[in-house]
Structure 1
Amino acid sequence: MSGMHRDRVETKQEIKKNEWHRHLCQLAATVFFNGYAKGFLSGKLYNGKGKYVCVPVLNCYSCPGALGACPIGALQAVAGGSRHSISFYILGSLMLVGTVIGRLACGFLCPFGFVQDILHKLPVPKVRIPQKADHLLRWIKYVLLLLLVLLLPALVADPFGQGTPWFCKYLCPAGTLEGGVFHMIANPQLRQMAGALFTWKVAVLALVLAGAVFIERFFCKYLCPLGAFYGLFNRFAFFRMQIDKHGCIDCGKCESVCPMNVKVREDINSAECIRCGRCKAACPAGAVRSSFQKNRAF
């Protein structure tokens, strides 16, 4: 076996090992965040004290097994009116997660991200969006964060501070998959009441899931407001990716395997990086690392 061929085999093995470890973390997080087994059997939501705590990822409050609240849903609900203290708590908890780990939560903990990862493994031809179009499309998630998650809920609220959850109500595919679809299947009365809004949300879900088959992490790249928020912290989060410019051999393998199409050698801590570790596993020179650190020096 030639040295070059051996390197390719070892690289594939490292990437495969990294992905197995990551998927196990995703599975464990999915089970942990949705561990209320009784809810799946009875169709009734968990209403214990855990629902006062936001999980660090998109995980619908209405999922029968959900043990915590979705931060995006909770933030919309209290963004306006008299409940500013609660909205500050939610924003503070999100900022804490972002400051400590950045978008690591997206890569290792998010159930909907896990679903997308599994779907993308289906053996069908993949699509790569042209760079200019891809760059423009990535701004959509920031518009959704600003408009549907922050501004509209804050401006359109009742006197009790209850904002309309615009993103959850009209768009969120994670909520439709984890909550809406299950309840429609389990509850005949709800099926009879389903109207145009539910049809719209199922169509959005179908589009996003189909997109994930052909475009890796489709929702995360273009539509996820939580990923947009965490991405703001990537460059100065305590957990960061690092690249040794002197050890880098410019082979480009790190960029070829990145699910978010990050230009690893130029901007390794891009707001798009989900800290999945695939670039680190693919690097034959061991020039890519990740760790908790206080400063930006390698």
Structure 2
Amino acid sequence: MKMRKKVRIKVQIAFALVVLLIGIKFFMFVNYITSADSALAVNRPPGVEAFLPISALVSLRAWLGLGIFDTIHPAALVIFLTAIFISLFLKRAFCSWICPIGTLSEGLSLLGQKMFKTNYTLPKWLDYPFRSVKYILLTFFVVFIFFGMSPMEAYSFLQTPYNMIADVKMLTFFQNITAVGMTVIAVLVVLSLLIKQFWCRYLCPYGALLGLFSVISPWKITRDSSSCISCGQCRKACPNQLKVDEALRVSSPECTGCLSCVEVCPVKGTLSFKLPRKLHRFPSPFALGVTLIAVWFISVSIAKITGHWETSIPLEMYKTLIP
């Protein structure tokens, strides 16, 4: 079981390292643009657009309405669509295997468990309304973008200088973070230490959207009631407090496909991540991890080949806009 659990951790660490390298390269790119003393040319890493989900949502609005794929932040839309594709077929595996914020949130929960010997859970009368917050945030963005903006207005927004350097503004925010910003981050860190995956469970609108798509995912955690011994280990292991031991197939949008329940089940084959009935199941977390990496690699490769990865913004425009 420990070996199987390490598979997901390794995948999480691998993606986190890639994100870290992208962040370092993007910092060097901005420094190259803004510093007169910087002679070393650095290319902008398109992967930084993974942190522009709102821009990606606006891009999706323009693409669906006009058929025009965004050329300003194309990688943002590619990453967004890939995450949705994964959710449609493999539950919210993007959240538990790939997302660096999800990895950070999980890491803080584990650290809190070691520090305080436990992670606290909110009572149901607080848990349910708190869980609705991420769906309320999602509704706000979807209504504002898909019903408050026409496709042409969405496309026009994508061409604005503000959107063009949205990634730079994001970096600047953290470089010059205010006391209010630091306080908000500190509160989120403390709550994540105390409450298991606080951000993902209660506040992440991205996860809420992927969760809605994941409801129709054909692959789901499936329980064989004939061999289940009702030990309750799967429910305890579930980071989202799902009643796995009472369900035949877990359809909840809160399920992230982390396979924690499968790993702790003492009866082999009782829990599995599989298609309906006796069709294909993932034989191991390793197979799921390889599949996710392959899907990600293929998606990015297709985007590069078709010219939907690199931004169309010329270097000269960055030199004009960023300062």
Q: Provide TM-score, normalisation by structure 2.
A: 0.64
Contact 2:29 2:43 survives alignment (8 Å): no
2:239 pairs with 228, 252, 259, which one?
259
Equivalent residue for 1:231, pick from 208, 211, 236: 211
Instruction: Verify the 8 A CA contact 1:18 1:278 in the aligned structure 2.
Output: no
Greater C-alpha radius of gyration: 2
User: Which residue does 1:269 correspond to in 2?
Assistant: 251
Cα distance in 2 between the residues matched to 1:251 and 1:201 = 44
Of 280-289 and 85-94, deviating more is 85-94
Assess, with a 3 A threshold, how the Cα gap between structure 1 residues 128 and 285 changes in structure 2: closer, same or farther. same
The CA distance in 1 between the partners of 2:197 and 2:230, in whole Å, is 25
Pick closer, same or farther for the CA change 1:239–1:80 going to 2, 3 Å.
closer
Letter in 2 for 1:161: Y
CA 1:94–1:213: 2 relative to 1, 3 Å = same
**Contact 2:83/2:94, CA 8 A, preserved across alignment:** no
Q: 1:297 to 1:271 in 2, by over 3 A?
A: farther
Q: 2:267 aligns with which of 262, 265, 285?
A: 285
> 1:236 and 1:199, CA in 2 relative to 1: closer, same or farther beyond 3 A?
same
Which structure shows the higher helix fraction?
Answer: 2
Q: How does 1:111-126 map to 2 (within 5 A)?
A: 111-122=100-111, 123-124=115-116, 125-126=118-119
Q: What is the alpha-carbon distance in structure 1 between the residues aligned to residue 68 and residue 54 of structure 2?
A: 13
Count of residues in Structure 1 that have an aligned counterpart in Structure 2: 246
CA shift digits 1:65-90 (9 cap, x unpaired) = x4443462233443667983358976
Percent identity between matched residues is 23
Q: How does 1:71-82 map to 2 (within 5 A)?
A: 72-78=53-59
Distance 1:72 1:126, change over 3 A: same
Deviations 1:208-256 (CA, angstroms, capped at 9, x unpaired): 2221111111111111112111212334313321111111100101001
1:77-128, CA deviations, whole angstroms, 9 ceiling, x for partnerless residues?
4366798335897675554222122201111111011111111122224311
Partner of 1:106: 95
Q: Deviations over 1:10-33 (max 9, x none)?
A: xxxx2x434322121111112234
1:134 aligns with 2:136: no
Counterpart of 2:137? 144
Aligned to 2:127, the other structure's residue is in SS state: helix
Aligned to 1:8: none
Tell me if structure 1 keeps the 8 A contact 2:105–2:200. no
Unaligned runs of 5+ in 1: 1-13, 52-65, 170-174
Aligned Cα root-mean-square deviation (Å): 3.6
Matches within 5 A, 1:30-49: 30-36=16-22, 37-44=24-31
Tell me the SS of whatever aligns to 1:153: helix
Q: Which amino acid aligns with 1:232?
A: L
For the pair 1:161 / 2:155, whether they are aligned, the reply is yes
| Counterpart residue number, 1:69 | 50
